[in-house]
């Protein structure tokens, strides 16, 4: 897989090694698979990062709690418990509609990697560029049964025309020069994470697919796969914050509609060493100078 400035840190091992090459055919009698992915058990405790322990606390603090903490909000839940940004894919389809895939662009913007979850075609390009007036460092890892394997570690430079002094009110975004790297995913590995080596709260997860029957759930947790050739398949769903995969068998009939719903159980308890814990020894005053960390762009709620 060839990516432009991508980084990967894997937390889930994927044992998925198709032995076939996908065949494009004309699909005239295909069916549709639709459904909703929900998450029950409440919204998990978010990961929290003390901004004074990372570079650029003023600029990155434009999105923060107002008390010096930056939250990595991994879960977007609708009122009906629908879960956004879930990858949905048929894992065992051998032939079907053309596999068209538009190259992706991931932006480092406001000390976030956007989008948070992406789907890429195995072997396609992914462009990543820095839109912020601060430096970011791109690290890449992939899943292995022996643990994560480093793919590369390279800076993602800022645009040289950015102003040197960055205030909390700055919204200037200029594209920096993309960094191009080549990633060779180990056979059977499909999950990766992009992470900034300077700002640990910057993450972007990706899932590599080898057929066009995939989707990302919308704001309400729904998905829709069309033009699926009649047959028996396995439908799989995955979300990076849950850390597990769910799958169900589905039968697709000629021009028929199959409805398949999934429900994740919300992770419980302490999920990370990065959680909000008020400690007077690690407040903004501990730096020995006034640090103006103000959520001028977005005030986050723990």
The band of 175, judged by pLDDT with boundaries at 50, 70 and 90, is confident
Please tell me the distance from the alpha carbon of residue 208 to that of residue 229, in angstroms, as a whole number.
22
Domain annotation covers residue 302:
no
Report the predicted TM-score, pTM, of the whole model to 2 decimal places.
Answer: 0.86
User: Residue 55 and residue 77: Cα distance in Å, rounded?
Assistant: 30
How confident is the model over 196-225, as pLDDT tens digits? 999 999 999 988 888 999 999 999 999 999
Q: From residue 283, give the alpha-carbon distance in Å to each of 53, 58, 287, 297.
A: 10, 14, 8, 21
- Residue 54 in any domain: the answer is yes
- Going by DSSP bridges, is the β-strand pair 203-209/23-24 parallel, antiparallel, or unpaired? unpaired
Domain extent for 168: 2-272
- Under the banding of pLDDT at 50, 70 and 90, the label for residue 126 is confident
User: pLDDT tens across 136-157, in order?
Assistant: 998 877 765 566 777 778 888 8
Task: Give a yes or no: residue 294 inside a domain.
Answer: no
Closest CA to 75 of 239, 243, 272, 269: 239
For residue 301, tell me if it sits in a domain.
no
Q: Give pLDDT, residue 5.
A: 42
Structural domain includes residue 290: no
Residue 66 lies in a domain: yes
Structural domain contains residue 53: yes
Domain count, the chain: 1
The mean predicted confidence, pLDDT, of the chain is 84
In whole angstroms, give the CA distance from residue 288 to residue 101: 51
Question: Would residue 300 count as lying in a domain?
Answer: no
Q: Check residue 4 and report its DSSP letter.
A: B
């Amino acid at each position: 897989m060839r990516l432009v400035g991508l980084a990967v840190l894997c937390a889930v091992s994927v044992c998925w090694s198709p032995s076939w090459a996908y065949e494009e055919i004309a699909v005239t009698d295909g069916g549709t698979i639709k459904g909703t992915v929900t998450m029950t058990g409440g919204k998990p405790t978010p990961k929290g990062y003390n901004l004074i322990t990372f570079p650029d606390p003023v600029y990155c603090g434009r999105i923060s709690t107002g008390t010096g903490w930056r939250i990595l909000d991994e879960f977007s839940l609708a009122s009906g418990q629908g879960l956004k940004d879930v990858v949905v894919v048929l894992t065992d389809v051998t032939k079907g509609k053309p596999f068209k895939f538009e190259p992706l662009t991931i932006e480092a913007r406001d000390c976030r990697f956007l989008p948070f979850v992406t789907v890429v075609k195995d072997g396609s390009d992914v462009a990543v560029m820095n839109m912020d007036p601060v430096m970011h460092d791109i690290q890449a890892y992939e899943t292995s049964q022996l643990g994560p394997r480093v793919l590369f570690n390279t800076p993602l430079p800022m645009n040289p025309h950015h102003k040197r002094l960055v205030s909390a009110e700055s919204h200037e975004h200029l594209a920096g020069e993309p960094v191009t790297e080549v990633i060779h995913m180990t056979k059977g590995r499909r999950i990766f994470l992009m992470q900034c080596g300077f700002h640990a709260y910057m993450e972007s997860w990706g899932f590599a697919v080898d057929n066009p029957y995939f989707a990302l759930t919308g704001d309400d947790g729904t998905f829709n796969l069309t033009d699926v050739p009649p047959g028996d398949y396995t439908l799989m769903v995955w979300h990076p914050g849950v850390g597990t995969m769910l799958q169900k068998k589905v039968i697709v009939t000629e021009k028929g509609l199959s409805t398949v719903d999934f429900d994740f159980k919300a992770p419980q308890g302490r999920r990370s060493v990065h959680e909000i814990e008020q400690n007077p020894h690690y407040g903004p005053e501990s730096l020995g100078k006034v640090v103006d960390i103000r959520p001028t762009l977005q005030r986050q709620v723990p």
